[in-house]
Amino acid sequence: MESTNTNPSLKQTFNLLKYTFVIVPVVAGADKFTNLLTHWEQYINPSIASLLPFSGPVFMMIVGFIEIIAGVIVLKKAEIGGYIVAAWLTVIALTLLIGFNYADVAVRDLVMAVSAFAMARISKIVA
């Protein structure tokens, strides 16, 4: 239930973050099936890829499905979804950093993880 004393700009900030963390995971997740935005398989850490019981493309489709579900959870339950997205992005960043591959993407994902965490915390105030 929304508080009547909520600062309107805080509510706007929350909504901006919320819909960002609905749209971005859903679009990135769906793209794991089409590779229109990028070839996602290139981001799999080679040491992790060798441990997988299936191919890289299948792994990325599983990742895409998880990301779509995470975006839907943010839409329905922003606090829980925000923590899920923050954890997910942190894990992705750490796997990229293990081999020091795509450090720029890892840093971006960590910044987005902090933003998702902040959105989850703000949701307690405004939602």
- Domains: count for the chain: 1
Residue 31 resides in a domain: yes
Residue 102 resides in a domain: yes
Report yes or no: 70 and 92 within 8 Å, Cβ to Cβ: no
| pLDDT, tens digit, 9 for 90 and up, residues 80-97 | 999 999 999 999 999 889
Residue 40 resides in a domain: yes
Evaluate if residue 3 carries a pLDDT over 70: no
Residue 36 resides in a domain: yes
CB proximity list for 78: less than 8 A, separation 6 or greater: 14, 18, 119, 120, 123, 127
Q: Is 33 helix (H, G, I), strand (E, B) or coil?
A: coil
**What CA–CA distance (Å, rounded) separates 114 from 122?**
12
Q: Tell me what pLDDT residue 2 has.
A: 47
Residue 2 resides in a domain: no
Residue 15 resides in a domain: yes
Residue 1 resides in a domain: no
pTM: 0.89
Find the domain containing 48 and state its range. Answer: 8-126
- The whole-chain average pLDDT of the chain stands at 92
CB proximity list for 87: less than 8 A, separation 6 or greater: 113
